[in-house]
Each structure stands twice: as structure tokens, then as C-alpha cells.
Structure 1
């Protein structure tokens, strides 16, 4: 996929973060897990019952979504249809479901 211009990337990233926020709320409700979501612009902070956090933010210069979790730091790039980890190739929702489940102590599945 050719690089997007900054406006195109920001629109894609905002849409992804909006959907992710709603889907995280649904997954937390379904698992009866306590996940506090705080979002400021392109940065979303998830705080879990034990005080641990996951940060998801967009990086326009790199055209990536970055995720910081207990499991480490991960970069996801859009391939035209989905966000994929630049190292492992894992899809964002599958990877984030795992990171959240680890930190919440309950199975959270993003759909």
C-alpha cells in the first residue's frame, strides 16, 4: 500500500481509535472487567483494576499505531484493510485482546 498523506492517515487513525474505544468498552462489559478508558486526541490510555496501563496512540510521521503494554512496545501499520504488527504480523485486535486479557486477569476479546 502506498504511503498516505498526513490528512489521510490521521482520518484513518482517528476512525481506528474511535472503533477501538467502543469495542474495548464492549469487551470489558462482556467480561465484567474493570477497564477505565481515557482518551485525549490521538492517545488512548486503558487503566486496569491493578493499576497497570496500556497506551495506544497514533504516530503520523511513521503512519503507525503504537501500543505500550506490560508485554512490551508494539508498532502496527495499516496494510489497506487491517492494522498489522510490523515485527510479528499479528493483527491489532488479536494482539490487543491478548495484552488486555493479561493485564485484566480476565479474557477480553475484541471483535
Structure 2
């Protein structure tokens, strides 16, 4: 009998727990067992439709920095431009910042976090 099984039996808990099922459960989805919780995170997100704008705004309100993958929108440049314009409007409203990393990625920062876009000449 495992340590947890013996401990559970001693405590009067008779239900067997499958640890793999527990770790894959919905309540464990956002738990990082290797690190302590942080105040803010750098999170990767995909921009695939206008429905993703709400998630972007929510993450920015939580003060997280976003690495936004826009590569799936490259086949629809007008839609991509419209969505990026909406993101820029929201980010400007909250005093955040937006910068392009490469053709398929954008970095978005929350309020009071700015991106230095060009090096100052020395």
C-alpha cells in the first residue's frame, strides 16, 4: 500500500485517487507545481478571430504581458489589420504598449509598461 493510501486509510478516507486523473483535472489546469505563483505573467496567445479580443483585454487587465501569435491571420490581411487596430485602441486607452517582434508575433504590455522600440544612438 502506498504512503498516500495508508495515510488516507488512517484518516478514514477510503476513496482511491488516481493521481494522473487528478493532475489532468480542470481544477489543476492553471496550477504550476514547479514554481510559486507570480504577480504577473508573460503569456502566449493566438489571434484567430475577433472572439480573442476579450481574452486579450482580460489578460491585460490582470497586468500580464502577451506574446500574440498573429501568423494564422496572415491569409486575411484586412481582418488582421482591423483586429490589430482594435487592440492598439484598447492598449492606448489603458496606457499600455504594442510592438512587433516579427511578421508573425506581437508583444502587448499592460498599463504603465512600455516597450523601447529603438536603441538610442551612443
Report the structure, 1 or 2, having the larger strand content.
1
TM-score normalised to the size of structure 2?
A: 0.26
Instruction: Specify the structure having the higher radius of gyration (Cα).
Output: 2
TM-score normalised to the size of structure 1?
A: 0.28
